[in-house]
Amino acid sequence: MVEQDWLSERFAEHQGRLQAVAYRMLGSPSEAEDAVQEAWLRAGRADTGQVENPAGWLTTVVARVCLNMLENRRTRREESAGALPPEPTVPHASIHPAGQADPEDEALLADSVGVALTVVLDTLTPAERLAFVLHDVFAVPFGEIGAIIDRSPAAARQLASRARRRVQGAAGESDAARSPKREIVAAFLAASRSGDFAALLDLLDPDAVAGEARGAHAVAAFFAGRAQAARLALVDGVPAAVWSHRGRPKAVFTFTIADGKITRIAVDAVPDGLRGLDVVFLRPNDKERR
């Protein structure tokens, strides 16, 4: 009974932080509540006699629950052709430095990184998301993160670094994301999906090349009515198109552009080549939706 009372007190003491961790990990208030409830049940079944850092231990329990939920969600999710993640309802605010929030503010940390971060978090793997959120938002050491995902501290650091680059690329709305090349690639995808042959020709250099297709007419004929599942993205910081399945890139279309015309379209579908790429999906603006 004494141990149970101690656990109840510690859980109540840190519940705001645990809720914030779960919310940022999952992006859903209801799922966050479920995760914290499951963490409470797991904690109640555990031997807490050797727990020296209740806040860290409870954070680990919640993080493991969230990791399982993210992996289950990823397994269930079947991306529809060209579908984008739903616009989150999290209000925008400035990010708080990790580990510097007042206790009263910890429950609001999930809101502090804004809509842009929530969108890009949905493109990360569960392990990347966990490593980034726990370290960069909640200042959890990489040694503890590695133990949660069964990886070394160095591997956890690499996961967080990879996620951070994607977040910075999206949240910062980089120059590449606003460049003329983005506009051309977006226009090409729109014309391809709608089968607008004339628009494709207008975007292509007369001597454009794409795989075995040579010349603007051949390339336009090949792409007309296609690219239904390709999405506008930054690939290693450069505007491109990506076809993905269950959040993993399966093919990357890169564009060479000269004098405002597409001269070459290359397709990379080799898994080993795709694995090391930094991919940040871009949400189309109003002009690109038309």
pLDDT band at 49 (very low <50, low <70, confident <90, very high): confident
Cα–Cα separations (whole angstroms), residue 76 to 70, 71, 108, 247: 10, 9, 29, 11
- pLDDT confidence of residue 281: 79
Cα–Cα separations (whole angstroms), residue 110 to 20, 27, 137, 174, 196: 5, 8, 9, 23, 43
CA dist 214 and 54 (Å) reads 65
Q: 215 — alpha (psi -120 to 50), left (phi > 0) or beta? A: left
* Helix, coil or strand: residue 99: coil
Q: Do domains 2-171 and 176-289 have the same CATH topology?
A: no
As assigned by CATH, the class of the 176-289 domain is alpha beta
**What residues are paired with 280 via a beta bridge?**
234
Q: Hey, where are the domains in the chain?
A: 2-171, 176-289
pLDDT digits (tens, 9 = 90+) for 26-42: 888 889 999 999 999 98
- pLDDT confidence of residue 94: 29
215-219, 231-235, 269-273 — which one is most confidently predicted on average?
A: 215-219
pLDDT band at 177 (very low <50, low <70, confident <90, very high): low
pLDDT digits (tens, 9 = 90+) for 115-126: 446 666 777 889
Q: What is the DSSP string of 167-188?
A: HHHHHTT-TGGGSHHHHHHHHH
What mean pLDDT comes out for the span 111-139? 74
- pLDDT confidence of residue 120: 67
CA dist 265 and 116 (Å) reads 29
**pLDDT of residue 255 exceeding 80:** yes
What mean pLDDT comes out for the span 245-263? 87
Contact between 138 and 179 (Cβ < 8 Å): no
Share of the chain above pLDDT 70, in %: 76
CA torsion angle 86 91 93 96 (round to 10): -80
- pLDDT confidence of residue 114: 47
**Pairing mode of beta strands 238-245, 230-235:** antiparallel
Q: Which amino acid is at 67?
A: L
CA dist 102 and 117 (Å) reads 22
What mean pLDDT comes out for the span 192-212? 94
Average pLDDT, the chain: 78
Tell me which of 72 and 4 has the higher pLDDT: 72
User: Which secondary structure element, helix H or strand E, spans residue 253, and what is its range?
Assistant: strand 248-258
- pLDDT confidence of residue 262: 96
Closest CA to 25 of 57, 73, 78: 73
pLDDT band at 239 (very low <50, low <70, confident <90, very high): confident
Tell me which of 84 and 173 has the higher pLDDT: 173
CA dist 164 and 29 (Å) reads 23
CA dist 71 and 194 (Å) reads 35
Unique residue bearing structure tokens 């007042």 = 102
Unique residue bearing structure tokens 């090949």 = 222
* Helix, coil or strand: residue 205: strand
7-11, 16-20, 165-169 — which one is most confidently predicted on average?
A: 16-20
| Cα Rg of the chain (Å, integer) | 22
What mean pLDDT comes out for the span 170-179? 56
Domain 2-171 belongs in CATH node 1.20.140.160: yes
- pLDDT confidence of residue 285: 62
Tell me which of 171 and 207 has the higher pLDDT: 207
Q: What is the DSSP string of 218-245?
A: HHHHHHTT--TTEEEEEETTEEEEEEEE
The dihedral built from the CA positions of residue 169, 171, 174 and 177, taken in this order, carries a sign that is: positive
pLDDT digits (tens, 9 = 90+) for 66-112: 999 998 887 775 444 344 433 333 333 222 333 333 443 333 333 43
- pLDDT confidence of residue 62: 94
Give the tokens for residue 1: 């009974």
Q: Which amino acid is at 222?
A: F
